[in-house]
Structure 1
Amino acid sequence: MVKIGNFFFRTRNYLFPVFYVFLFLPFTRISENYATVFFIGLAVAIVGQLVRMLTIGLVYIVRGGRNRRIYADGLVTDGLFSHCRNPMYVGNILLIIGISILSNSLFAVLVMIPLFIFIYQAIVRAEEAYLGNSYGGGFDVYCAKVNRWIPELKGIGTTFKENDFNLKKVAFKEYNTSYLWMLGAVLLLAYNTNWLKTKLTLENEGIYFIAAIALLTLLYFSIRFFKKRERRLKRQKLAAEQIA
């Protein structure tokens, strides 16, 4: 399982484009009542997004990998990590479940969701093997106190009080994921209401889809611009300090 997890960790960036393609393939529908399906899926996806935002905004763990290998610069047990060992992956799974439901694709629900749950389970096993080897007894004590997947909500109010929520950090770290799934939701709504299956015009509901896509894209590039500007200013400040 650890070897499988390491493989998926290295290739995880290629999985989501494949996932997106399958969402638009003409498989059997979940229901003909698409409005209900869409809002259920949207609600689940929003919960997943909120979990990711709270994880990043309170106490974020740097576990993004190094040279396509699992890496962590410390054992973080505060924030949402004091209630669940993998809150980011919980958020990811909820996003995938939500998007799969609102796609109205029975294949996505019956195949893609179980597949991604397996993938994340394997990645978590690989990460835990790394953390166990790196932090030994400390990680074992943490595992004994905190669930791998099911969040323990006891004390969540205290967690929010003891940790300041950093909205800017959330925006800078989460804008890409947020843009992709929200754009996907808009496109799936257009696809399932037959707008993408016919001609692309500005008539009727078409203007609303185009406006939503334009707004999301504007927000995406705005946040991207400010993030890059902040990085550039930090580099300039550091260079000035080194010269001084």
Structure 2
Amino acid sequence: MKKLLPPVLFLLAIIVLIAARYLWPQSNLIPPPWHWLGLLLIVAGLVVGIPAANRFHRIGTNIRTFNEPGQLVTEGAFRYTRNPMYLGFSLMLLGLAIVFPVLTSFIVVIAFVVITDRWYIRFEEAAMERKFGDAYREYKSRVRRWL
């Protein structure tokens, strides 16, 4: 299961979310034109997630979930959330669920957030504590996991 990296789960969630909208007839939970407000969340997710990923690439630290962490990053969006890339993915999925506002879409978003929180983030946090010890615990005590 370690081969299912977060971006792959994110893409699978998008596929299921969009497919569910068209394959299983459901009533829209958010009527037009209000469903287009989901685009704002998609943009917000991009604004949060992409710079965080770029920061990892810029400083040359590991971005892959199941590899050993390279550096403790606490600047930029990491001052406000320990997981801006996951937050970005989640915001984009929530925005997409609002654009395609059927019950199944929101279930996909919830499933993504739960899997991310309980599997990826817990794995990463344990690795970060092992590698960075007190520095990571101090960071964790002052910066929230999500927001």
**TM-score > 0.5 by shorter chain:** yes
SS where residue 11 of structure 1 aligns? coil
Residue correspondences, number: 138
Gaps of 5+ in 2: none
Per-residue CA shift, 1:73-114, capped at 9, x if unaligned? Answer: 1111112112211111111100010111112322111x1011
Q: In the superposition, relative to structure 1, how do residues 18 and 140 fare at CA in structure 2: closer, same or farther (>3 Å)? A: closer
Number of the residue aligned with 1:101? 98
Within 1, Cα distance between the matches of 2:12 and 2:109?
A: 15
Matched, 1:17 2:12: yes
Identity %: 24
Looking at CA atoms only, which structure, 1 or 2, has the larger radius of gyration? 1
Within 1, Cα distance between the matches of 2:29 and 2:76?
A: 39
SS where residue 133 of structure 2 aligns? helix
Within 2, Cα distance between the matches of 1:118 and 1:34?
A: 29
Per-residue CA shift, 1:191-237, capped at 9, x if unaligned? Answer: xxxxxxxxxxxxxxxxxxxxxxxxxxxxxxxxxxxxxxxxxxxxxxx
Q: In the superposition, relative to structure 1, how do residues 32 and 47 fare at CA in structure 2: closer, same or farther (>3 Å)? A: closer
Within 1, Cα distance between the matches of 2:30 and 2:82?
A: 38
Gaps of 5+ in 1: 1-6, 151-244
8 Å Cα contact 1:27/1:106 also seen in 2: no
Number of the residue aligned with 1:52? 49
Q: In the superposition, relative to structure 1, how do residues 36 and 56 fare at CA in structure 2: closer, same or farther (>3 Å)? A: same
Number of the residue aligned with 1:112? 108
Within 1, Cα distance between the matches of 2:143 and 2:17?
A: 35
Within 1, Cα distance between the matches of 2:63 and 2:30?
A: 40
Within 1, Cα distance between the matches of 2:142 and 2:13?
A: 36
What root-mean-square deviation, in Å, do the aligned CA atoms of Structure 1 and Structure 2 show?
2.2
TM-score if structure 2 supplies the norm length? 0.80
Number of the residue aligned with 1:194? none
Give the 5 Å matches for 1:92-241. Answer: 92-109=89-106, 111-122=107-118, 123-150=120-147
Q: In the superposition, relative to structure 1, how do residues 63 and 35 fare at CA in structure 2: closer, same or farther (>3 Å)? A: farther
TM-score if structure 1 supplies the norm length? 0.51
Structure 1 residue 32: Cα displacement: 7.2
Within 1, Cα distance between the matches of 2:137 and 2:30?
A: 49
Aligned residue type for 1:35:
P
Aligned residue type for 1:145:
R
8 Å Cα contact 1:48/1:94 also seen in 2: yes
